[in-house]
Chain A
Amino acid sequence: MPTLEVPSRYRVPTRGESRIDVKGTTIRECIVEVESRFPGFQELILDTGGKQKRFVRLFLNGDALERDALDRSLSQEDTITIMASAAGG
């Protein structure tokens, strides 16, 4: 089962969970599955049109993904890491 690593910035809806095993064959399916268990998670990662938000970056097994990789197929051993870029003021 793929694993989703959640940065602490986005752990409020996951109630502190940092690594979540998810059923899903694509990154998008994994995010939707996490949303079903932890409401409020998806809106942090995807915009209302279903696109990856601009401050979110995704990594697959440590490698940075392009921004249009949400529908990429996953294997059972894959680890998806979510990162948030800088904030500023």
Chain B
Amino acid sequence: MSVGSEDKMIRVDMTRQSASIEAFPEKWKFLGGRALSAKILLEECDPDCDPLGADNFLILAPGLLAGSSAPTSGRLSVGGKSPLTGGIKEANVGGDPGQDLMKLGYRVVIVTGKPEDPELRYALEVDGDSARVIPADAHKGKWNYALIEDLTQTYSKKASFISIGPAGEMQLSGASVACTDHSQERHPARHAGRGGLGAVMGSKGLKFVAIEAGRAASRKPADKQFFQLSKKYTRDFVAGPGQEPFPKWGTSVGCEEANSLYTFPYKNRTEGRSPDVATLDGMRIVESFETRGGGMHNCLTGCIVKCSNIVHDANGEYKTSGLEFETLTMLGSNCAIASWEDVADLDRLCDDIGIDTIETGAAVAVYMDAGGMEFGDAEGTKRLLREVAEGTEIGRAIGNGAATVGRLKNHHRVASVKGQAIPAWDPRPLKAAGVTYCTSAMGADHTAGLIVDPGQAPEEFARASQESQILNAAVDSSGFCQFLMPNIEEIAEFYTHFYGESINREAVADMGWQCLEDEWEFNRRVGFGPEDDKMPACMAEDEIGGEVKFVWDVPDEIVAAAYSRFDPRDELFTARPS
């Protein structure tokens, strides 16, 4: 029996509140995570559907190697048509649900329909033999942490959960989908944040998914060399001197590096450096471990990167975890909030309410820039986030993202592409990353293809962006975390030994490219065109930098060139995600 021949999938109809288990189609055998989500949406989802309507899909797809013994390979893709951008969306997330679904043999969960009564809440329960939709009205309106605390009393100690907070229930376009992490408490601190997929889940009345993997074993590879390969990769990664300091302390310690490169946006991106970098940088979090506790941990079972920080308050009590560079920048520097401790509070609020920290940071900064609040008002920002959960007018606007706040306040400086806020990594010094923001079907998303290289020549922008987009699509389809930094050659080797079929590096690159093609095609059917691949005017007008100034000045033809596949060169197969 070949690997994968007994794989299953779950189809959930929220109109009838029913779930059925089906055999996983052979034609999708080598599709996982993001690529599988894109294929299903292209083949089955009406591109003209209302993102919050019954015809939209919510896809939960673990990567191809999830559930196996490959290191850091259990990531989950959450997909659907985005209420934020109106186009296709995949948000990739850690935590244990991806691992657990695959250990049970489920390659994907496809949720369609919506209940007749929008006031009712439901949950999906999944174990090795069955999947069922149950009423969950008792949990209506709960914030993520309180919800998971209650669920851990109801389900087994090994259960993992996917959930939404009040923002998802209110169907706000910045709403995230939370996954519980590997900690004993199963904190809902890992979020598929971008694109508002929490709102899609909310529109279907689905408050949470509970996965009971019990003692399900890891997926067995076709060939035992897979185990040796996993061990070797782990050994090399841990020993690799070039990996420091990133896995050791996480992304949060990248603030000073970003600041030196003018990609640490300040005051709604009007400057590229912050005077508060020293009090925001993640090394202050690392220093707090000694007196407060906390530390670094793995967000999912089998992760060797362990880049997720656990942040405690001054009393030594857990506050939040996974406080990343992007959050410190967008909710800190970009709002001129100077203290990492305030940002930790804001991160906890975002995770609890269930909203994307990047989109929310951008939205608050636009609000401040438009005169709604003073830059640097940390306590006011905390009140504002609580208003998201309360559903006030400004709270709902913040929860719907930066573009909505810009429209509400009639403010011109809104840095977004296809309706999605530009992340911390700034396209003015990082122009190849800017090409990604313009051409990715996802809108402005650094995880679609980040290139941190301000010294690059213009003739390299399109190719660098395309190569990075192919690589990241391949990684996001594999289940590997981008922070493990696997290259395409290594992914091919893992696939070959796991499936017992020769899969070369060219085939993996083709899988990545096909994923991009499927996403672009979905958006074309929605009606997206070259006019949507534009950087906002403020990126061309607002100059940042020091002796050398940066604006967005990349010609349209260079941006468009990223759509035409370049002849593969060796770097495509050996480069690692940034």
Chain A interface residues toward B at CB < 8 A:
6-14, 16, 39-40, 43-44, 47, 53-55, 57, 64, 83-89
Q: Are B452 and A87 in contact (CB under 8 A)?
A: yes
Q: Write the B412-429 contact mask toward A (1 if CB under 8 angstroms, else 0).
A: 000000000001110001
Q: Which of B71-79, B242-250, B516-524, B526-534 contacts A (4 or more CB under 8 A)?
A: B242-250
Q: Which residues of B contact A87 (CB under 8 A)?
A: 251, 254, 257-258, 425, 450, 452, 578
The 7 nearest A-B residue pairs measured at CB: A11-B455, A8-B455, A88-B251, A87-B452, A55-B257, A87-B578, A89-B326
Also in contact, A39 and B326, with CB within 8 A (given A11-B455, A86-B243, A87-B450): no
User: Distance (Å) between the CB of B250 and the closest chain A CB?
Assistant: 8
Q: Which residues of A contact B220 (CB under 8 A)?
A: none
- Give the distance in Å from the alpha carbon of A9 to the alpha carbon of B257 in the complex: 11
Q: Are B447 and A12 in contact (CB under 8 A)?
A: no
Also in contact, A89 and B425, with CB within 8 A (given A8-B456, A11-B455, A16-B455): yes
User: Distance (Å) between the CB of A60 and the closest chain B CB?
Assistant: 14
Q: Are A54 and B253 in contact (CB under 8 A)?
A: yes
- Give the distance in Å from the alpha carbon of A88 to the alpha carbon of B423 in the complex: 12
A–B pairs, 24, beta carbons within 8 Å: A6-B455, A8-B453, A8-B454, A9-B454, A11-B455, A12-B548, A39-B547, A40-B548, A43-B260, A44-B260, A54-B256, A55-B245, A64-B241, A83-B242, A84-B452, A85-B245, A86-B483, A87-B251, A87-B254, A87-B258, A88-B250, A88-B251, A88-B325, A89-B423
| 4 more CB-based (< 8 A) A-B contacts, given A9-B455, A55-B254, A87-B452 | A8-B453, A53-B260, A57-B241, A86-B242
Chain B interface residues toward A at CB < 8 A:
241-246, 250-251, 253-254, 256-258, 260-261, 283, 307, 324-326, 423-425, 429, 446-447, 450, 452-457, 482-483, 485, 546-548, 576, 578
Among B325, B455, B547, the most chain A Cβ lie within 10 Å of the Cβ of B455
Number of residue pairs A-B, CB distance < 8 angstroms: 89
- Give the distance in Å from the alpha carbon of A12 to the alpha carbon of B243 in the complex: 24
Q: Are A85 and B242 in contact (CB under 8 A)?
A: yes
- Give the distance in Å from the alpha carbon of A14 to the alpha carbon of B548 in the complex: 10
Q: Are B455 and A12 in contact (CB under 8 A)?
A: yes
Among A7, A83, A88, the most chain B Cβ lie within 10 Å of the Cβ of A88
Q: Are A54 and B245 in contact (CB under 8 A)?
A: yes
User: Distance (Å) between the CB of A81 and the closest chain B CB?
Assistant: 12
- Give the distance in Å from the alpha carbon of A44 to the alpha carbon of B243 in the complex: 19
Q: Which residues of A contact B261 (CB under 8 A)?
A: 9, 44
User: Distance (Å) between the CB of A87 and the closest chain B CB?
Assistant: 4
User: Distance (Å) between the CB of B460 and the closest chain A CB?
Assistant: 9
User: Distance (Å) between the CB of A88 and the closest chain B CB?
Assistant: 4
Q: Which residues of A contact B324 (CB under 8 A)?
A: 88-89
Q: Are B241 and A53 in contact (CB under 8 A)?
A: no
Q: Do most interface residues of chain A lie in helix, strand or loop, or is the interface mixed?
A: loop
A16: nearest chain-B partner, CB-CB: B455
Q: Which residues of B contact A84 (CB under 8 A)?
A: 257, 452
Q: Are A89 and B447 in contact (CB under 8 A)?
A: yes
- Give the distance in Å from the alpha carbon of A55 to the alpha carbon of B260 in the complex: 11
B545: nearest chain-A partner, CB-CB: A12
A88: nearest chain-B partner, CB-CB: B251
- Give the distance in Å from the alpha carbon of A43 to the alpha carbon of B576 in the complex: 26
Q: Are B251 and A85 in contact (CB under 8 A)?
A: no
Q: Which residues of A contact B258 (CB under 8 A)?
A: 87
Q: Are B452 and A12 in contact (CB under 8 A)?
A: no
Q: Which residues of B contact A86 (CB under 8 A)?
A: 242-243, 246, 483, 485, 576, 578
Q: Which residues of B contact A88 (CB under 8 A)?
A: 246, 250-251, 254, 307, 324-325, 482-483, 578
Q: Which residues of A contact B307 (CB under 8 A)?
A: 88
- Give the distance in Å from the alpha carbon of A81 to the alpha carbon of B406 in the complex: 45
Also in contact, A89 and B246, with CB within 8 A (given A9-B453, A13-B547, A43-B260): no
User: Distance (Å) between the CB of B154 and the closest chain A CB?
Assistant: 34
Q: Which residues of A contact B425 (CB under 8 A)?
A: 87, 89
- Give the distance in Å from the alpha carbon of A89 to the alpha carbon of B253 in the complex: 10
User: Distance (Å) between the CB of B144 and the closest chain A CB?
Assistant: 21
User: Distance (Å) between the CB of A38 and the closest chain B CB?
Assistant: 9
- Give the distance in Å from the alpha carbon of A84 to the alpha carbon of B456 in the complex: 14
- Give the distance in Å from the alpha carbon of A89 to the alpha carbon of B243 in the complex: 15
- Give the distance in Å from the alpha carbon of A14 to the alpha carbon of B243 in the complex: 26
Among B450, B453, B547, the most chain A Cβ lie within 10 Å of the Cβ of B453
- Give the distance in Å from the alpha carbon of A16 to the alpha carbon of B256 in the complex: 22
Also in contact, A53 and B256, with CB within 8 A (given A11-B455, A16-B455, A89-B424): yes
Q: Which residues of B contact A83 (CB under 8 A)?
A: 242
Q: Which residues of A contact B482 (CB under 8 A)?
A: 88
User: Distance (Å) between the CB of B122 and the closest chain A CB?
Assistant: 33
Q: Which residues of B contact A44 (CB under 8 A)?
A: 260-261
- Give the distance in Å from the alpha carbon of A21 to the alpha carbon of B227 in the complex: 47
- Give the distance in Å from the alpha carbon of A76 to the alpha carbon of B250 in the complex: 38
Also in contact, A89 and B325, with CB within 8 A (given A40-B546, A83-B242): yes
Q: Are B450 and A89 in contact (CB under 8 A)?
A: yes
Q: Are B454 and A12 in contact (CB under 8 A)?
A: yes
Q: Which residues of A contact B325 (CB under 8 A)?
A: 88-89
User: Distance (Å) between the CB of B291 and the closest chain A CB?
Assistant: 21
- Give the distance in Å from the alpha carbon of A88 to the alpha carbon of B329 in the complex: 13
User: Distance (Å) between the CB of A55 and the closest chain B CB?
Assistant: 4
- Give the distance in Å from the alpha carbon of A11 to the alpha carbon of B429 in the complex: 12
A11: nearest chain-B partner, CB-CB: B455
- Give the distance in Å from the alpha carbon of A8 to the alpha carbon of B571 in the complex: 15
Also in contact, A89 and B547, with CB within 8 A (given A9-B454, A55-B254): no
B457: nearest chain-A partner, CB-CB: A16
Q: Which residues of A contact B245 (CB under 8 A)?
A: 54-55, 85
- Give the distance in Å from the alpha carbon of A57 to the alpha carbon of B251 in the complex: 17
User: Distance (Å) between the CB of A39 and the closest chain B CB?
Assistant: 6
- Give the distance in Å from the alpha carbon of A83 to the alpha carbon of B261 in the complex: 15
Q: Which residues of B contact A53 (CB under 8 A)?
A: 256-257, 260
